[in-house]
Amino acid sequence: MLAIRKYKEKVSKVLRRYNIPPVTLMHFLDIQQGCCAICSKDFGETSYHIDHCHTDGSVRGLLCSNCNTGIGLLQEDETIFNNAIQYLRERQ
């Protein structure tokens, strides 16, 4: 029962905050096979976050907490991401 209530609360939150229908949430869960779009962590093991563009508000997909936080901390900036990748490659 708790899982059903949690799901309904998540759907309600999605509808209010991102103005998308529940079918869109289910579509993302389906095409991502219930996993984070970046690291592929199964949402059965962790909760998911709705990733959206802070410029235009469009929903991009579902992410785990770590990936969602990482994108935010790197300011959704592709140059910063590429610099981080280069940094890691150079220091392995």
34 has a pLDDT exceeding 80: yes
Confidence class for position 10, pLDDT limits 50, 70, 90: low
For the chain, the structural domain boundaries read 2-90
Query: Residue 64: left (phi > 0), alpha (psi -120 to 50), or beta?
Result: beta
Give the residue-averaged pLDDT of 51-77.
93
**Rounded to an integer, what distance in angstroms lies between the CA atom of residue 56 and that of residue 2?**
34
Confidence class for position 76, pLDDT limits 50, 70, 90: very high
| 48 or 32: which leads in pLDDT | 32
Q: Per CATH, is 2-90 categorized as 3.40.1800.10?
A: yes
Instruction: Choose among 61, 8, 53: nearest CA to 32.
Output: 61
Give the residue-averaged pLDDT of 21-36.
91
